């Protein structure tokens, strides 16, 4: 029986092979497991699930979302590294996971070159945020208070943010009390409860800023923030580093180029189609879709990786 | 003030304008109130079945509910509705077999057998059941009202006056208190709490390499919360139950039969006036005890019963039955007290994120699984103009509880009286069914066989705890509180600029720490 079937299977595979190398015709060989590196129910999780929903609707590919959280996205990376590299396993993380966090953790199996970046979805609208009616609603007031000897609590949600906050403070001559909290939501809760004074938030502050509850006292990315075009960038204020980054999809290393192209195109397609819920969510809560794929993405990741290496070096030298 | 009213209104709207479950004659029927009703009926049935308790039903239904309603914030109120329904239903239902067959349906109903069963044997089972229902629902409603008023107030006070070091100290105090008051001795409580903390520290933390996992990848994000908690609480109980079944000789079960002359069997004139003062006192006792984390409804029932017994003995007329002989006051005192615990128990849950009993543990588990609602002081932030969705959910929960009480007042009693038959379901059938449901439920939610093994391992832990008399609830509560504790301690340490003595940096936190030590030192027994 086996001997009879094997050549048949081989023939079938050969017949299908040329078709499979063409990205336009690529289809996953089975249901796609979509690992999500963010807590269920949050903004990033919703984004991932809506993208999955959009791809299912447009392409008919079956997608199974699954939470794999912990260790700044590295738990997801470890899990994804074990999955087959045939397009049936993808994961959503932030660019920071495979650059700064991977370098800092130092596991050789979890570095950027062991994975295939598929597509970014949105870029961080990262701001240094404070309460609008509080004592620290502008950088001048922060600097003044620090000069007067008031300890200032600086909320951060990742080690990279902590390093940038530390070096930023150092360049401005301020010794911040850097408080690690859980995610951007943790920073915003801390601000509202008065437990912290200022903190980084990567986009979730948008609504609170628009409604006048909070202010972006500085932009943490190499551009002005959409909500606060008047806020200076942190490099204007003396920082040598930015906290730019992306929400993005990745796949195991050595992914079939056709699969990479097809998956990247599918994500792009869903996010840039105004009719999808994913598009609406990203437009409302993440400053709009910002999809980078293919070689442009490789170049972008290389730059982010170099920046991360430099940041780590600077932070540990100090 | 208008802000408060606005949020209350939004909470009510969230319940009635939430996702629809089906439509009837073109009108969409909102899911949340329907789920309260479903939960309430389930709860009464479960409570009326000896060997099943509210937490078991909550455990089995939670993952099913989540797979029906999904992980979106829209799912919160329907899921909470069902769980709250079970919680309320079970405390009423527990009285049914206690009264009819002298078998408490839930551990809380133990004291109800003392007067409820004699009254049933004297030919008035219906009267006993009505008194039980009336007292239970009154106690519950009173407790809920206290919750509605106190939880927001307490949360606002905590946020306004407690800084990170004080919040850390408060968590330490709650864990110490739970260790001190639950179980046979303080030492066992501390053992349980300590093991719970150790289990929770696996895989979590802030380093980029997971800690204490012994190289097991599946533990990189810690033990799955659902698997660990259901393992200890439910599987442990089932294993113990199976062992007991193996030892048990087919014990003859008492039947409800009338020994005395046939009496008119319904509430008698003056019953309500007689039991009202007892209900009132017991409701207050139950509410106060319920507000303390870890002190259970059994203590509330025992305390109320003995106080009521003393008062009754002093005032009884000769023609009235004494306590233990079928006194309506006895039924009223225990049922009002044990039901009053459940509402007040949510005060520390909603305002501080600290669960005090198994039902509260499942509400936290539901919130944690679905996401979008994190019980704790941050819930009660009256933000404007931006709406705080967690606060709307909190008022939605209050609305659900009020609906639950209304249903309990109206149809609960009728349904309850038809549940007597459930007391005859044998354990040999019940336990495997619950085991299968629980395991399926865990697999549905975690979709990994590893989670099932974790559940069994924790089930074994729960079984061993029960065998050597170590209370399991402190383990579970410590397991849940370990993460907030570590997180807050870390934040407090960082925010004070790395002060190692941050726990002793203010008068309030020193007071909390002293109280923590005192609770362990002063509450030792035996």
The verdict on residue A179 lying in a domain is yes
Residue A164 makes CB contacts below 8 A (sequence gap 6+) with A200, A220, A234, A239, A241, A242, A243, A311
The verdict on residue A6 lying in a domain is no
Task: Based on the fold, state whether residues A300 and A169 are members of the same structural domain.
Answer: no
Q: In whole angstroms, how far apart are CA B137 and each of B283, B402, B409?
A: 10, 11, 6
- Count how many pairs of residues, chain A against chain B, have C-beta atoms within 8 Å: 87
CA-based nearest distance B293→chain A, Å = 24
Contact A179 B494 (CB under 8 A): yes
Q: Which residues of chain A approach chain B closer than 8 Å at the C-beta?
A: 39-42, 45-46, 49, 66, 68-72, 74-75, 78-79, 101, 104-105, 107, 151, 153, 159, 177-182, 189-190, 192-196, 207-208, 211-213
Contact B487 A181 (CB under 8 A): yes
DSSP state of A226: S
pLDDT per residue as tens digits for the range A228-271: 999 999 999 999 999 999 999 999 999 999 999 999 999 999 99
Task: Based on the fold, state whether residues A102 and A134 are members of the same structural domain.
Answer: no
Task: Based on the fold, state whether residues A69 and A214 are members of the same structural domain.
Answer: no
Report residue B308 CA to chain centroid gap: 24
CATH number for the domain that contains residue A134: 3.40.190.10
Q: Is A194 left (phi over 0), alpha (psi -120 to 50) or beta?
A: left
The verdict on residue A68 lying in a domain is yes
Strand-pair category, A89-94 with A32-36: parallel
Which chain B residue shows the shortest CA-CA distance from A75?
B220
Q: What is the mean pLDDT of chain B?
A: 87
Task: Based on the fold, state whether residues A200 and A253 are members of the same structural domain.
Answer: no
CA angle, B362 then B366 then B369, to 5°: 130
Closest CA to B58 of B28, B29, B88: B88
Task: Based on the fold, state whether residues A83 and A160 are members of the same structural domain.
Answer: no
Task: Based on the fold, state whether residues A109 and A252 are members of the same structural domain.
Answer: yes
Is the pLDDT confidence value at A203 over 70?
yes
Q: What is the pTM of this model?
A: 0.85
Task: Answer whether B71 touches A (CB < 8 Å).
Answer: yes
Q: What's the sign of the alpha-carbon dihedral B421, B426, B427, B431?
A: negative
Residue A313 makes CB contacts below 8 A (sequence gap 6+) with none
pLDDT per residue as tens digits for the range B430-486: 888 889 988 988 887 777 899 999 999 999 999 999 999 999 989 999 999 998 999
The verdict on residue A45 lying in a domain is yes
pLDDT score for A11: 52
Lowest mean pLDDT among A19-23, A173-177, B80-84: A19-23
pLDDT per residue as tens digits for the range A299-316: 999 999 999 999 999 998
Task: Answer whether B375 touches A (CB < 8 Å).
Answer: no
d(CA A318, CA B82): 55
CATH number for the domain that contains residue A45: 3.40.190.150
Burial class (CB in 10 A: 0-12, 13-18, 19+), B249: exposed
Contact A66 B447 (CB under 8 A): yes
Which chain A residue shows the shortest CA-CA distance from B371?
A41
Strand-pair category, A246-252 with A89-94: antiparallel
**Nearest-CB residue to A177 (from B203, B222, B497):** B497
Task: Based on the fold, state whether residues A86 and A62 are members of the same structural domain.
Answer: yes
CA-based nearest distance A210→chain B, Å = 10
Final residue belonging to a domain, choices A201, A219, A237: A219
Closest CA to A284 of A182, A197, A206, A190: A206
Q: Which of residues 187-206 of B touch A (CB under 8 A)?
A: 203-204, 206
pLDDT per residue as tens digits for the range B42-77: 999 998 888 788 888 898 888 788 888 877 788 899
Give the domain range for residue A97: 31-123+245-317
Strands (E), B31-146: none
The reply to whether ipTM tops 0.85 is no
The verdict on residue A225 lying in a domain is no
The verdict on residue A5 lying in a domain is no
Is the pLDDT confidence value at A12 over 80?
no
The verdict on residue A14 lying in a domain is no
Task: Based on the fold, state whether residues A160 and A208 are members of the same structural domain.
Answer: yes
Task: Based on the fold, state whether residues A131 and A103 are members of the same structural domain.
Answer: no
Set of chain A residues whose Cβ sits within 8 Å of the Cβ of B63: none
The verdict on residue A236 lying in a domain is no
Contact B210 A71 (CB under 8 A): yes
Q: What burial letters (b/e) apply to A279-289, b meaning 16+ CB within 10 Å?
A: bebbeebbbeb
Domain spans in chain B, listed from the N-terminal domain onward: 2-21+29-418+430-522
Domains identified in chain A, total number: 2
DSSP state of B108: G
The mean pLDDT of B87-104, rounded to a whole number, is 88
d(CA B8, CA B450): 43
Q: What burial letters (b/e) apply to B57-85, b meaning 16+ CB within 10 Å?
A: bbbbbbbbbbeebbbbbbbbbbbbbbbbb
Contact A193 B377 (CB under 8 A): yes
C-beta of residue A74 within 8 angstroms of C-beta of residue A94: no
Contact B378 A189 (CB under 8 A): yes
């Amino acid at each position: 029986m086996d001997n009879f079937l094997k050549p048949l299977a081989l023939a079938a595979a050969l017949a299908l092979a040329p078709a499979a190398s063409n990205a336009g015709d690529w289809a996953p060989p089975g249901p796609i497991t979509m690992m999500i590196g963010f807590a269920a129910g949050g903004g990033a999780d919703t984004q991932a699930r809506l993208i999955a929903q959009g791809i299912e609707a447009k392409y008919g590919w079956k997608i199974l979302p699954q939470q794999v959280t912990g260790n700044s996205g590295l738990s997801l990376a470890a899990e994804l590294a074990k999955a087959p590299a045939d397009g049936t396993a993808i994961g959503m993380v932030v660019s920071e996971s495979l650059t700064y966090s991977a370098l800092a953790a130092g596991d050789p199996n979890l570095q950027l070159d062991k994975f295939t970046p598929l597509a970014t979805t949105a870029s961080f609208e990262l701001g240094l945020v404070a309460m609008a009616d509080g004592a620290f609603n502008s950088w001048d007031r922060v600097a003044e208070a620090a000069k007067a000897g008031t300890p200032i609590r600086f909320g951060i949600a990742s080690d990279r943010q902590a390093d940038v906050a530390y070096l930023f403070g150092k360049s401005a001559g301020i010794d911040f009390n850097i408080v690690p909290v859980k995610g951007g939501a943790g920073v915003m809760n801390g601000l509202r409860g008065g437990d912290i004074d200022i903190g980084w938030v990567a986009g979730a502050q948008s609504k609170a800023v628009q409604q006048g509850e909070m202010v972006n006292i500085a932009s943490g990315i190499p551009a002005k923030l959409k909500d606060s075009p008047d806020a200076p960038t942190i490099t204007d204020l003396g920082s040598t580093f930015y906290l730019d980054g992306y929400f993005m999809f990745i796949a195991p290393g050595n992914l079939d180029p056709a699969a990479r192209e097809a998956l990247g195109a599918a994500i792009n397609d869903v996010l840039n189609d105004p009719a999808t819920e994913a598009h609406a969510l990203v437009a409302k809560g993440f400053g709009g879709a910002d999809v980078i794929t293919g070689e442009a993405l490789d170049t972008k990741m290389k730059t982010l990786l170099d920046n991360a290496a430099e940041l780590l070096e600077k932070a540990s030298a100090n | 003030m208008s802000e408060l009213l606005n949020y209350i209104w939004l909470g009510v709207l969230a319940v009635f304008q939430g996702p629809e479950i089906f439509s009837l004659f073109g009108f969409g029927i909102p899911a949340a109130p329907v789920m309260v009703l479903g939960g309430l009926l389930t709860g009464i049935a479960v409570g009326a079945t000896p060997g099943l308790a509210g937490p078991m039903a909550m455990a089995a239904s939670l993952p099913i509910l989540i797979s029906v309603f999904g992980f979106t914030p829209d799912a919160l109120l329907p899921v909470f509705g069902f769980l709250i329904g079970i919680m309320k239903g079970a405390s009423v239902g527990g009285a049914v077999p206690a009264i009819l067959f002298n078998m408490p349906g839930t551990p809380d109903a133990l004291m109800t057998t003392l007067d409820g069963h004699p009254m049933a044997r004297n030919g008035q089972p219906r009267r006993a059941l009505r008194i039980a229902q009336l007292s239970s629902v009154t106690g519950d409603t009173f407790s809920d009202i206290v919750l509605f008023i106190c939880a927001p107030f307490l949360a606002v006070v905590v946020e306004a006056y407690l800084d990170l070091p004080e919040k850390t100290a408060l968590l330490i105090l709650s864990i110490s208190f739970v260790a001190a008051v639950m179980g046979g001795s303080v030492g066992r409580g501390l053992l349980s709490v300590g093991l719970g903390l150790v289990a929770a520290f696996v895989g979590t933390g802030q380093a980029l390499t997971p800690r204490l996992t012994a190289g097991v990848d599946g533990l990189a994000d810690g033990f799955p919360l659902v698997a660990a908690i259901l393992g200890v609480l439910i599987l442990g109980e089932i294993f113990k139950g199976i062992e007991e079944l193996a030892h048990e000789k087919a014990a003859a079960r008492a039947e409800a039969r009338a020994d005395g002359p046939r009496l008119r069997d319904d509430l008698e004139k003056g019953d309500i006036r007689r039991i009202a003062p007892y209900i009132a006192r017991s409701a207050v006792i139950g509410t106060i005890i319920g507000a303390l984390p870890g002190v259970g409804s059994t203590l509330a029932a025992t305390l109320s019963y003995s106080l009521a017994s003393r008062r009754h003995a002093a005032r009884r007329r000769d023609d009235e039955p004494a306590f233990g002989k079928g006194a309506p006051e006895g039924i009223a005192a225990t049922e009002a007290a044990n039901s009053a615990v459940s509402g007040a128990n949510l005060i520390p849950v909603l305002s501080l994120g600290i669960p005090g009993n198994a039902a509260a543990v499942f509400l936290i588990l539901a919130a944690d699984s679905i996401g979008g609602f994190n019980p704790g002081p941050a819930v009660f932030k009256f933000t404007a103009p931006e709406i705080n969705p967690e606060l709307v959910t909190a008022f939605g929960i209050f609305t659900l509880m009020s609906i639950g009480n209304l249903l309990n007042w109206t149809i609960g009693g009728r349904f309850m009286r038809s549940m007597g038959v459930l007391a005859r379901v044998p354990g040999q059938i019940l336990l495997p069914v619950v085991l299968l449901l629980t395991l399926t439920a865990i697999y549905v939610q975690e979709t990994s066989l590893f989670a099932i093994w974790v559940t069994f391992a924790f089930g074994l832990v729960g079984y061993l705890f029960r065998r050597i008399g170590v209370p399991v609830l402190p383990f579970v509560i410590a397991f849940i509180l370990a993460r907030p504790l570590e997180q807050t301690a870390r934040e407090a340490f960082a925010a004070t600029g790395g002060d190692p003595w941050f726990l002793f940096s203010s008068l309030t936190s020193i007071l909390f720490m002293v109280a923590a030590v005192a609770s362990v030192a002063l509450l030792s027994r035996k």
